[in-house]
Amino acid sequence: MDLKTLRDTPPWDRPKNTGAMVLEVLRNPQADAADRILAVEVAGDFTVIDDELAAQLLLLVRNPAESEELRGDAAIALGPVLEYSDEEGFEDADLPITERTFQTIRESLHAVFLDTAVPKEVRRRVLEASVRAPQAWHAEAVSDAYASGDGDWRLTAVFCMQYVRGFDAQILEALKNESAEIRQEAVCAAGAQAVEAAWPSVAPLLALKTPKPLLLAAIEASIFVAPEDAPGRLRPLLRSSDEDVVEAVHEALSMIEGLAEDGDEEEHEGTWH
């Protein structure tokens, strides 16, 4: 099974030796560059990654002999397991990596980020991956990236604001940015941080004329930005001919309803006591 097929195969249908296959490609600097990029993507999957693969991904991130693309992709591949491990903790959860590996990843990514000799694109990806498990140093790093005047760093900063708190003002500012990419990341950040003041900027995006990626981001963000006002804006989107949009709206409406029910239950319990 080639790596492209492996990537597109559902986890439950992958061979048991998937991790070993991927590790072999990652360890071989003579392997085809495209295959190594695919191997990095597969390595980051929850059903594949373990301590050994995580260590190999870190080696790629730190290795100046590797391409910027491979190093950056290797960092990004570590993001999901960082986030999940940070959320679940290591006391009771059955996680793909050990706590020692988790700490090693965080420390190593921080060290790479601090090294200004590392190419910008690698450092950007390292920051984007590491914020999935926020640490104290991230606030300053994100603030500096946003204030740098560099469009690429600002894009990275706004992405990171989904995970690092304390940037509501910058998110609101970024919602008005000329860059479509930055605006989209700002919409995602507004939703992730439940920035209610973002609703006047998010609401107009809930329209069929909005480009699909931005529309999908706005649909998701509306759940947390304005759960009371969002349904009225969301329901007309059910007329869309795009199945992805319709599905996203149904999911959003269902989540808003669930949040409302949870709120009613909490209020009732508080009254009862």
∠81-84-85 over CA atoms, to 5°?
Answer: 80
160-204 pLDDT, tens digit each: 999 999 999 999 999 999 999 999 999 999 999 999 999 999 999
- 82-90: which pairs have CB atoms within 8 A and are 24 or more residues apart? 82/106, 82/129, 82/130, 82/132, 82/133, 83/132, 83/133, 83/163, 84/46, 85/133, 86/132, 86/133, 86/134
pLDDT, mean of residues 242-246:
97
The reply to whether 101 falls in a domain is yes
pLDDT score at 268: 45
Q: At what angle do helices 99-114 and 51-62 cross, to 10 degrees?
A: 10
pTM comes to 0.91
List strand residue ranges (DSSP E) for 157-227, in order.
none
Distances (CA, A) of 51 to 97, 102, 137, 247, 271: 5, 9, 25, 36, 48
15: alpha, beta or left, given left = phi > 0 and alpha = psi -120 to 50?
beta
What is the secondary structure of 202-217 as a DSSP string?
A: HGGG-STTS-HHHHHH
pLDDT score at 266: 55
The reply to whether 147 falls in a domain is no
Q: How many domains does the chain have?
A: 1
The reply to whether 91 falls in a domain is yes
Which are the contacts of 49, defined by CB distance < 8 A and separation ≥ 6? 19, 43, 77, 81, 96, 97
**Residue written as tokens 């910008």?**
120
The reply to whether 9 falls in a domain is yes
Q: Give CA–CA dist 46/7, Å, rounded.
A: 12
- Which residue segment(s) compose the domain that 59 sits in? 1-135
The reply to whether 109 falls in a domain is yes
The reply to whether 94 falls in a domain is yes
The reply to whether 204 falls in a domain is no
30-82 pLDDT, tens digit each: 999 999 999 999 999 988 999 999 999 999 999 999 999 999 999 999 999 99
pLDDT score at 1: 61
pLDDT, mean of residues 212-233:
96
The reply to whether 115 falls in a domain is yes
Asked which of 8-22, 155-169, 223-237 is least confident by mean pLDDT, the reply is: 8-22
Q: How many angstroms from the chain centroid is the CA of residue 155?
A: 13
pLDDT score at 179: 94
**Residue written as tokens 């199945």?**
243
